[in-house]
Amino acid sequence: MKNRYVYLAAATLVLAAGSPTFATDAVIHTTAVAPVQHRGERVAKLPLLEWTVVAAQKGWLKEEFSKCGATTELVDTARMGNTGVEAALLDRGDLHFALRMQYPSLQHKLNGLDCVIVWQSGDRPVRQNVIVVLKDSPINSIEDLKGKHLSSTRISCPYFSAFEILKNHGLELDNDYQRGDVRFVNSISTAGQVSGFLAGKFEALSIHPGANAYTPLETQGLVKEVSASLEGGYYVTGGGRTSYFAPRDWANQNPDLIKAFLAAYARTRRWILDNPDDAANIIARELREPKHVALYDIKDISSYAVTAGQPSYDDAVNAIERFQKWAIDNGDDFLKKKSLNNQQTRAFVDKRFFEGGEYFVYTGNKSPGSQAGNSRPAPGVAQQLVQANTK
């Protein structure tokens, strides 16, 4: 049975020319309501990502999930540009996996989404998140942001990265308790955020350069980076670690499908790293983006599309607890109101999918002896530039 793609209808801001068509065998649904599942049919509903479209086209999703008597659907939540849509789909069973950094995955958990972490990356490169301004802006440093407006989504890790780096420079973002040195503009719409930024509604953005919604800002030379994340900080060692999480009930009922998902990821990420040009051709076609954007999103140092997993359950738990404690101690207005205790954190990370667990799959570098979290590509030109700007 063919993989089905489920697309959510939404207006999308196009920053770059070129819109390749979807594969001809894709079944396109222009609705936020997922197809009705036939009684007795096992269907895993996966996010539409760089690696999942490659795995679908190469037949690896079908191969892994058919071992469990299941099929897959790829659900495109990104076109809504709203993290609330993703959480709603997870909550009602129309999506079974989400890729989020640990900070927003914790926020979703604390907001009532009953989910579990089934995979986590190791520490991340500082340029996974950056603060950018328009290329001709007079702002050239973190200190120049004082009195200016910065936008990101509050339920997101770009917020946490900006919060930490600004605090390290003696600046505070707006919060629920007081006005900050830097005014915060909360935007839940990616398209609205980018268009507002380009129109000059606010001076700075906190973004992932490796996220295809923002990559054209970099590849078209529309922005300059005034800061990356804090080296050795709580973002790169905790809040910014990437994770896959799944609804708890679904995970308990379908642990074999989660193992199939991780097995497909391990196989696909290795192929993408070995064949970036061929992978970019598939990604560009399936995600309807220019090939240079697809290449950037899998090869740049900021990329998190094919990150290696770290296998340790204890390390996963400790990473969450470390950044949560730091955030609370340093005035994070969200986590000061609600947080997880140790027992809750250990239940949040599902031990079955980490090393020693029944459903563990190694997703690290090519040989199991390699450092699990070290999957970073060699620095490209953009990374060299940001290093030069931050010296």
Spans of all domains in the chain: 4-123+241-353, 126-237
CA dihedral 316, 318, 323, 328 (to 10 degrees): 130
Tell me if residue 6 falls in helix, strand or coil: strand
Checking if the pLDDT of 265 tops 50, the result is yes
- Dihedral over Cα of 258, 259, 262, 263: its sign: negative
Query: Tokens 């992978």 appear where?
Result: 279
- Dihedral over Cα of 111, 115, 121, 122: its sign: positive
Looking at per-residue pLDDT, the higher value among 387 and 190 belongs to 190
- How high is the pLDDT of residue 344? 98
How far CA 315 is from CA of 37, 114, 287, in Å, comes to: 37, 22, 34
Checking if the pLDDT of 78 tops 80, the result is no
Lowest average pLDDT, out of 1-10, 60-69, 98-107, 262-271, goes to 1-10
Instruction: Express each pLDDT in 1-39 by its tens digit.
Output: 344 344 333 323 333 333 222 332 333 333 344 445 545
| Helices and strands (H, E) in the chain, number of each type | 14, 11
Checking if the pLDDT of 383 tops 90, the result is no
Q: Is the Cβ–Cβ distance between 233 and 165 less than 8 Å?
A: yes
Tell me if residue 25 falls in helix, strand or coil: coil
- How high is the pLDDT of residue 22? 32
Instruction: Express each pLDDT in 41-62 by its tens digit.
Output: 899 999 999 999 999 999 999 9
- How high is the pLDDT of residue 86? 86
CATH class of the domain defined by 4-123+241-353: alpha beta
**Cα–Cα nearest to 55, from 267, 363, 212:** 267
- How high is the pLDDT of residue 169? 97
Q: pLDDT class for 177, splitting at 50, 70, 90?
A: confident
Give a three-class secondary structure readout of 297-345. HHHCCCCCCCCCECCCHHHHHHHHHHHHHHHHHCCCCCCCCCCCCHHHH
- How high is the pLDDT of residue 366? 52
CB atoms within 10 A of CB 117: 27
Lowest average pLDDT, out of 277-291, 338-352, 354-368, goes to 354-368
Residue 187 exposure: Cα atoms within 13 Å on the Cβ side: 24
CB atoms within 10 A of CB 298: 22
Tell me if residue 276 falls in helix, strand or coil: helix
Q: What is the mean pLDDT of the chain?
A: 85
Instruction: Express each pLDDT in 189-242 by its tens digit.
Output: 888 899 999 999 999 999 999 998 999 999 999 999 999 999 999 999 999 999
Residues 146-165, mean pLDDT to the nearest whole number: 96
Instruction: Express each pLDDT in 350-370 by its tens digit.
Output: 999 999 999 999 999 853 333
Length of the chain (residues): 391
Tokens of 147: 């009195």
Q: Give the type of residue at 49.
A: L
Q: pLDDT class for 388, splitting at 50, 70, 90?
A: very low
Q: Rounded to whole angstroms, how far apart are CA atoms 207 and 217?
A: 10
- Tell me if 4-123+241-353 shares its fold with 126-237: yes
| CATH 3.40.190.10 given to domain 126-237 | yes
Q: Rounded to whole angstroms, how far apart are CA atoms 322 and 327?
A: 9
Lowest average pLDDT, out of 54-58, 73-77, 93-97, 117-121, goes to 73-77
Checking if the pLDDT of 299 tops 90, the result is yes
The β-bridge partners of 4 are: 73
**Cα–Cα nearest to 46, from 79, 2, 95:** 95
Instruction: Enter the pTM of the model.
Output: 0.85
- How high is the pLDDT of residue 77? 81
